[in-house]
Amino acid sequence: MESTRRAAAPRPARRSVRRARRPRSRGSEPAEPAVCSYDPSCSCNHPNDRRRTVILLILGVALWSLAHLFPVATAGTRRRLLTRVGEPAYKGSFSLVVVASLVMMVLGWRATTPVPVYAPPSWGVHATQLALFVAVGLFVVSALPTNAKRVLRHPQLSGLAVWSGGHLLANGDQRSLILFGGLGLWALLSIFLINRRDGDWRKPDPRPRSADVRVALVAVGAYLALYFAHPLFAGVTLPMP
């Protein structure tokens, strides 16, 4: 019997399938957080970055306050400094310090992630709008002749204090406390120090009623302009009253 060799049928080629390897667990070590690009609004910023932005905001408020309190609290030192360096150099240095403090406050505010400290009341937003209207009116009073100056000795500083307190009724985060609380305290302290330095207040002469009407109209116009421009420079849209 003749032996025949059968050709073995070719086996189908195996597909090489590579399974994705699971990352080895390293015991109880936590997974490394994803590293993102620096974004002030991102909550995954490192604590050191958040701390630096808060410090920048604090330094800006402190520099602004000290620069304005210095000529009020130390009148004698200011006069000696003016005599030594001259008025142009003094005013130039003062302006540079004020601009630097403003830049620090703006950069610190924009880069600081808000962290809630307290819950503002539900009516706080509407109270803030009323406070803003009063504050704008006081700023206009300080710039124009009106009979309101016979009632308020410091309308501009009073307006800033009202503006600061109003914002704290609607914002309960740490950066609002630093900025608005710090500027409000500076305004109140300035009023106290100026009154102590200048002594008795001499009221200005009376003005016609038309001056008060003009101031009221300007105040309403200024408030409306601020209301619609608020989202542009503050990033927050004010609700309708």
Q: What is the pLDDT of residues 23-81, one digit of tens each?
A: 454 444 444 444 443 344 454 455 556 678 899 999 999 999 999 999 888 878 888 88
Average pLDDT score, the chain: 82
The arithmetic mean of pLDDT across residues 4-17, rounded, is 50
pLDDT for position 21 = 53
pLDDT tens-digit readout, 169-220: 999 999 999 999 999 999 999 999 999 988 889 998 999 999 999 999 999 9
CA angle 37, 109, 44 (to 5 degrees): 30
- Tell me which of 46 and 88 has the higher pLDDT: 88
What does pTM read for this prediction? 0.74
Residue 60 buriedness (CB in 10 A; 0-12 / 13-18 / 19+): buried
pLDDT tens-digit readout, 66-83: 999 998 888 788 888 888
pLDDT for position 35 = 40
pLDDT for position 14 = 52
- Tell me which of 230 and 166 has the higher pLDDT: 166
pLDDT for position 76 = 83
Percent of residues, the chain, with pLDDT higher than 70? 78
pLDDT surpasses 80 at 86? yes
Range 35-38 contact pairs with CB under 8 angstroms and sequence separation of 24 or more: none
Distance of alpha carbon 57 from alpha carbon 69, whole angstroms: 18
Q: Are 63 and 102 in contact (CB under 8 A)?
A: no
pLDDT for position 181 = 97
Distance of alpha carbon 165 from alpha carbon 17, whole angstroms: 67
For residue 148, how many other CB atoms are within 10 A of its CB? Answer: 19
Parse the chain into domains and list their residue ranges. 44-113, 116-241
Torsion angles phi and psi, residue 116, rounded to 5:
-60, 135
Helix orientation angle between 87-111 and 75-85, rounded to the nearest 10 degrees:
120
Torsion angles phi and psi, residue 213, rounded to 5:
-65, -40
Q: Rounded to 10 degrees, what is the CA torsion of 124, 138, 90, 194?
A: -90
pLDDT for position 79 = 86
Distance of alpha carbon 230 from alpha carbon 115, whole angstroms: 22
- Tell me which of 38 and 165 has the higher pLDDT: 165
3-state SS, residue 96: helix
240: confidence class by pLDDT, cuts 50, 70, 90: low
Q: Are 201 and 151 in contact (CB under 8 A)?
A: no
b (16+ CB within 10 A) / e for 61-73: bebbbebbeebbb
241: confidence class by pLDDT, cuts 50, 70, 90: low
pLDDT for position 153 = 94
pLDDT for position 61 = 97
237: confidence class by pLDDT, cuts 50, 70, 90: confident
Lowest mean per-residue pLDDT among 32-36, 53-57, 141-145, 233-237:
32-36
17: confidence class by pLDDT, cuts 50, 70, 90: very low
